[in-house]
């Protein structure tokens, strides 16, 4: 199976941004006293940048 250029870019962006977003969301959720901060970090980390924007909208 041959991967196309746009698909490779999407996969690379996911790999680069997923971990830092997940760590940030986990630390912030822990600091705010949310239940299950690890689940928050993993869930929003998998969404990468859209996940970060969605979390920023939900965190208030």
Q: Which letter, b or e, does each residue of 28-57 get, where b requires 16 or more Cβ atoms within 10 Å of its Cβ?
A: bbeeeeeeebeebbebbbebbeebbeebee
Tell me what pLDDT residue 23 has: 94
pLDDT tens, position by position, 9-27: 888 888 898 999 999 999 9
Amino acid 26: pLDDT: 95
pTM for the structure as a whole:
0.77
pLDDT of residue 39: 93
Domain extent listing, the chain:
5-58
pLDDT digits (tens, 9 = 90+) for 37-50: 999 999 999 888 88
């Amino acid at each position: 199976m041959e991967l196309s250029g746009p698909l490779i870019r999407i996969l690379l962006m996911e790999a680069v941004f997923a971990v830092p977003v997940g760590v940030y969301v986990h630390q912030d959720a822990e600091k705010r006293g949310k239940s299950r901060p690890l689940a928050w970090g993993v869930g929003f980390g998998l969404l990468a940048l859209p996940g970060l924007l969605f979390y920023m909208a939900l965190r208030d």
